[in-house]
Amino acid sequence: MNTASFSSWKGKIVDNRKGKAAKSVDIKFPAQLGVDNVSAVMGWNGLVVMDPDADIISLTMNYLKEARKLSCGECSVCRIGIDRLLDIFGKMSEGDGNKKDLFEVQQIIRGVSVNSKCNFGRSVLFPVLDAIKYYRSDFLALIKGERKLETKEYSYAVTAPCMEACPASLDIPGYIELIRNSRFEESLNLIREKCILPGVVGRVCPHPCEDACVRQDIDGPLSIRLLKRAVADYDLQEGGSPLTGTMEEKEEKVAIIGSGPAGLAAAYNLRLMGYKVTIFETLPRAGGMATVGIPDYRLPKDILNHEIDLIKRMGVEIKLNNKVEKLNLKELQKKGYKAVFLAVGAHIGTKIGAEGEDKGYEGFVDGVEFLRDMNLGKKVQPQKKVVVVGGGNTALDCARSCVRIGFDNVEIIYRRSRAEMPASDEEIEEAEKEGVKFNYLMTPVKILEKDGKVTGVECIKMRLGELDESGRRRPIPVKGSEFTMDTVMVIPAIGQRPDLPAMTGKDKVEVTDWGTIKADLVSYKTNIEGVFAGGDCVTGPAILIDALDMGNKVARSIDCYLRGEDLKREISFEGVNTREQREQGFIAEKVAEKVDLLDVDKRSEGFTEVESGYDVSEAMREAQRCLRCYRLMVCEQAG
C-alpha cells in the first residue's frame, strides 16, 4: 500500500491534499515500472500522484505523446482527438490558452471515448479527464501564464490484459493488428521477438491470454493461439523465412544443457547477441518435451523440426546423444565456456504410491517414458486394456496415444473429480469422443501381477475434503472401499521431477524439497557463479511458453553477467488483468471463426493432426474481432 497525495485509480478517488489523515492507495506502480522513485503516474485506470509537487500538466502532455504513438489511425477518431488535445495543451503552454479550452478538452475526450472503435481509443483518455478535473487550478494557472512547464524524466510501459496474462508478455494486439492488415511476415517477426517456436506454441499453448481476453464476456475470446499458428503456417507454406537479426560476433562461449524450449529460446537470443552457443542434449532428437512428450496428433514433428532447424541455421550447435552426466565447471571453463545454462526439464515420473510400483513388472510403464519411447519411434504392442493414472497433460497424451496405437480399452483413473482435472476441457472432451473412459475419485493402491506381468490394479475410492494448498479440494480415501480393475498395462502419469546431472563439491547446485533447482526468479542465477537455470527444472512441470519466456530472460541475464552489467528489472503490471473498463461502449457481437477437427472415426487410424488451422482469410476475419485493449502508463520520476 502506498500513501499517495491523490489517486483516481479504478475510479476510486483518494485525495490526501487537504491535510486530512492520509488514506492509503492499493497500488504498487513504482516497483512495477522498475523505477524506485516515482512522483506521479498516469495510466489506463487513472492518475496517481505521490509527490504533491509533481508536474501534472507535463505528465499529461507526455502521456498524450505516447498515446499518439499507440493510436493506429484506423478509425482515426483517437488520433485526430489526441492531435487536437496536444494542440490545445501546446497553445496553453505558450500562453495562448483560454479558459474555454478546458471545456473543449472534455468534449474531445468524451467524443473519442464514445466513437473510437477499439478499446484503446475508448479508454486511453480517461486519466486526462481526471487530470483536468482534479488539477484544474494547475491548468488555469498555465492559461494565465502563472505557471511554466517543468522538464522531468518519464518512463513508459504498454500492456494489455492478454499480454499481461501471457507468461512471455507477447505483443498480442500488435501481431493481431498486423494479421488484420494482411502483414503476416511482420506479424511473425513480432511474435518471434518473444516466442521462437510460433508454430509449436500456436498448436499446443493452453492460451492463458484467451482467458484474459476482454471479448470473453461478450461473445467468447479471440482465438489468439490459432492466429499465432496461422502466421507460422503461412510462413511455412511460403517456404519458411529464416531468422534474422544483427549478430556482432563475440568471443565468449555459452554452454546450454538441454534442448527443450527453455534451452532453445536462450540459445537463439544469445546467438542474436553474437555469443557462441553449444547445446548438449541427452536424446537423439532436440526439442525436449515438445519432441518426446507431446504426441504428433497435437504437434506434428515437421513443424517443430522446422523451427529448431531455423535456430540451428543461426549457428547454434546442438550436440545430440550428449548427456552431461556430471556438472564439471572446471572442464567446461577449460573448453572456453564462460556461462552455463541448466535447462534439463523434468523427466522423471512421480511415484503414485502404490504397492509394487518399483518391482519392474512387465506392463507397468511410466507415462513420460512411454511417450518418449513412442515419440522416438519404438513400436508399442497394442493390448486389450490399459489403465492410465492421472489427470494432466501427460495422462491425457498417454491415453489418447493408446487409442491411436490400437488398444481395445483405454481407461483413465483420477483421484479427484473432473472439475479439478488439470487437463483442459477441450482435451478431456476430445479424449471422451475418442472412447477414453474416465473414472473419477479413485486412486491405485496396489499393482497386481502374475509371473512378473501386470494383471490388474487395486484401487480405493476417494471423496473430496477441504481445499488444499493447490486451491483444489483434497482427495481423501474412503476406508474399506478397495476394489480391483483388471488390466494388462498400467501407465502412471501424475507428474515429473528433474533428473539433474550429478554434482559434487563446489559444483553442487542448490535444489528445493521438490528436487527442482533453486534459482533467482529475476536473474535465473543459481548459487554457483556463472551457472543459470530455467524452465521446468526450476518451476517443475509447467507449460511451453513459460519455458520459452525463461529462456529469453536467461539469455539477457547471461549477457549482463558476461558484460559485467546489472540486470534491469522487467516491467510488469499488477491488476491490469482485470477485464474492467470504465466504459465499454457498443461492441458488435461476432463469434470466433471455427476450425475443423479430424473425424473421430479416423483418429484411431494413426497420429494425424486433429486440429486444422485458419487459412489466411479466416485468420484476417478472426483478427477483426480484436478490441485492441492496449493500456499505457507514463510515470514521472522524482528528482
Ligand X SMILES: Cc1cc2nc3c(=O)[nH]c(=O)nc-3n(C[C@H](O)[C@H](O)[C@H](O)COP(=O)(O)OP(=O)(O)OC[C@H]3O[C@@H](n4cnc5c(N)ncnc54)[C@H](O)[C@@H]3O)c2cc1C
- Nearest distance in Å: CB 343, ligand X: 5
The cell for 197 is: 517456436
Among the listed ranges 189-197, 349-357, 512-520, 535-543, the one in contact with ligand X (CB under 6 A) is 535-543
| Cα-based distances in Å from 628 to 121, 159, 231, 271, 566 | 9, 10, 18, 33, 34
Count of all residues that appear for the chain in the document = 639
Closest to ligand X by CB, 158 or 262: 262
Q: Does 307 bind ligand X (CB under 6 A)?
A: no
> What is residue 240's DSSP assignment?
-
SS3 state at 345: coil
In the block, residue with C-alpha cell 498400467: 490
Among the listed ranges 6-14, 28-36, 72-80, 539-547, the one in contact with ligand X (CB under 6 A) is 539-547
Residues 6+ apart with CB under 8 A from 29: 2, 38, 41, 43, 48, 633, 635
Q: Does 428 bind ligand X (CB under 6 A)?
A: no
| Residue of 197, 340, 368, 623 interacting with ligand X (CB under 6 A) | 368
Among the listed ranges 260-268, 569-577, 578-586, 603-611, the one in contact with ligand X (CB under 6 A) is 260-268
Q: Does 202 bind ligand X (CB under 6 A)?
A: no
- What is the Cα–Cα distance from 292 to 346, expressed in whole angstroms? 12
**Identity of residue 313:** R
Interface with ligand X: number of residues (CB under 6 A): 39
Q: Between residue 312 and residue 351, which ones bind ligand X under the rule CB under 6 A?
A: 323-324, 343-345, 347
| Residue of 46, 161, 202, 260 interacting with ligand X (CB under 6 A) | 260
442-450 and 453-467 strand pairing: antiparallel
Specify whether the CB–CB gap between 283 and 376 falls below 8 A.
Answer: yes
Residues 6+ apart with CB under 8 A from 522: 557, 567, 569, 570
| Residue of 397, 430, 549, 618 interacting with ligand X (CB under 6 A) | 397
- What is the Cα–Cα distance from 432 to 419, expressed in whole angstroms? 15
**Closest to 208 measured CA to CA, from 263, 265, 262, 168:** 168
The cell for 56 is: 501534472
**Closest to 289 measured CA to CA, from 400, 412, 393:** 393
- Nearest distance in Å: CB 546, ligand X: 6
SS3 state at 369: helix
Among the listed ranges 237-245, 405-413, 540-548, 619-627, the one in contact with ligand X (CB under 6 A) is 540-548
| Residue of 393, 443, 552, 581 interacting with ligand X (CB under 6 A) | 393
Among the listed ranges 93-101, 147-155, 282-290, 472-480, the one in contact with ligand X (CB under 6 A) is 282-290
Q: Between residue 344 and residue 363, which ones bind ligand X under the rule CB under 6 A?
A: 344-345, 347
Closest to ligand X by CB, 263 or 356: 263
Q: Does 633 bind ligand X (CB under 6 A)?
A: no
| Residue of 535, 626, 630, 632 interacting with ligand X (CB under 6 A) | 535
| Residue of 33, 232, 289, 447 interacting with ligand X (CB under 6 A) | 289
- Nearest distance in Å: CB 208, ligand X: 10
Specify whether the CB–CB gap between 308 and 548 falls below 8 A.
Answer: no
- Nearest distance in Å: CB 271, ligand X: 17
In the block, residue with C-alpha cell 487459412: 615
- Which residues of this chain interact with ligand X, rule CB under 6 A? 204-206, 257-263, 280-283, 288-290, 293-294, 323-324, 343-345, 347, 368, 371, 393-394, 397, 499, 501, 535-536, 542-545, 547
